[in-house]
């Protein structure tokens, strides 16, 4: 199998649920400080507000204890986010290898069946244990169809399921894993309480959505992320229907 691409940017996403809620307070704050510093500041701010209402009732020892607790929470959050970033980098590495060695892969042993929906979208439409996929109509050829080259790419990306599953099984905070491409393909695997949830992406998403316009794509491109390291998105509402999310994203360059 050969994917006819010279230079293509893909974005690998590893999404985490909004747990704990402290994440919302600092995830969008960008500076050179570490995640631990930001999380500590956010939680100390919450602690300060709590203490201001009843400062006279709090002894110095209680204040020290509360500060220690917020720092412990900050450390826990840092561990969670660091773990997600590490998994994102691993997922990106796998996708890089997959795309750059496409000719070494045959057909995925458990392929999905793809077809056109009544609304004109193209994707996986039969419930199974595989990831969902949708090809935006922006990816179609001049005849309004999925080209053979694009179909080859769709088939190749089925191998992402191997890494999707392994990461989700070992990281409870990875509630949804994506591969979004500049060719306007989106493949994902969501999990609820560790259990895979299949969705009909052709019905869930707009048929003509432009993946390149979403912050969970362009924030990892060369302009916004020249270092090509995992980066975090702002808080956003998940288009796949899983509620509020923050995502760790990493670019994959091919060619």
Distance CA 193, CA 195 (A): 6
pLDDT of residue 69: 72
128 CB-side CA count, 13 A: 14
Indicate the pLDDT class of residue 40, thresholds 50, 70 and 90.
low
Distance CA 75, CA 15 (A): 20
CB contact at 8 A, 110 and 155: no
The helix (H) or strand (E) run that includes residue 49 is: helix 35-53
Q: Is the pTM of this model over 0.85?
A: no
Helix, strand, coil shares, percent, the chain, to 5: 40, 20, 40
Residue 121 has pLDDT above 70, yes or no: yes
pLDDT of residue 106: 92
CB contact at 8 A, 217 and 192: no
Indicate the pLDDT class of residue 119, thresholds 50, 70 and 90.
very high
Indicate the pLDDT class of residue 240, thresholds 50, 70 and 90.
confident
Residue 122 has pLDDT above 90, yes or no: yes
Summary count for the chain: helices (H), strands (E): 7, 10
pLDDT, the chain, mean: 79
Q: Who wins on pLDDT, 146 or 74? A: 146
- Domain spans of the chain, in order of start: 8-20+82-254, 23-79
């Amino acid at each position: 199998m050969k994917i006819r691409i010279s230079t293509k940017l893909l974005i690998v996403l590893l999404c985490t649920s909004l747990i704990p809620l402290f994440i919302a307070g600092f995830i969008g704050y960008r500076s050179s400080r570490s995640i631990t510093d930001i999380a500590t500041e956010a939680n100390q701010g919450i602690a300060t507000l709590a203490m201001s209402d009843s400062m006279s009732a709090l002894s110095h020892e209680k204040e020290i204890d509360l500060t220690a607790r917020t720092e412990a929470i900050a450390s826990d959050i840092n561990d969670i986010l660091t773990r997600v970033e590490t998994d994102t980098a691993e997922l990106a590495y796998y996708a890089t290898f997959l795309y750059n060695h496409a000719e070494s892969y045959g057909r995925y042993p458990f392929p999905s069946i793809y077809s056109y929906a009544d609304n004109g979208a193209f994707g996986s439409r039969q419930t199974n244990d595989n990831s969902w996929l949708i090809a935006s109509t922006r990816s179609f050829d001049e005849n309004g169809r999925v080209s053979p080259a694009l179909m080859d790419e769709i088939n190749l990306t089925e191998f992402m399921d191997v890494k999707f599953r392994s990461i989700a099984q070992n990281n409870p905070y990875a509630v949804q894993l994506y591969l979004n491409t500049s060719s306007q393909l989106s493949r994902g695997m969501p999990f609820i309480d560790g259990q895979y949830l299949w969705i009909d992406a052709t019905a869930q998403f707009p048929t003509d959505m432009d993946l390149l316009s979403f912050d969970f794509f362009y924030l990892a491109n060369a302009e916004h992320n020249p270092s090509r390291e995992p980066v975090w998105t702002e808080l956003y509402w998940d288009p796949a229907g899983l509620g509020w999310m923050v995502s760790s994203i990493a670019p994959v360059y091919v060619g």
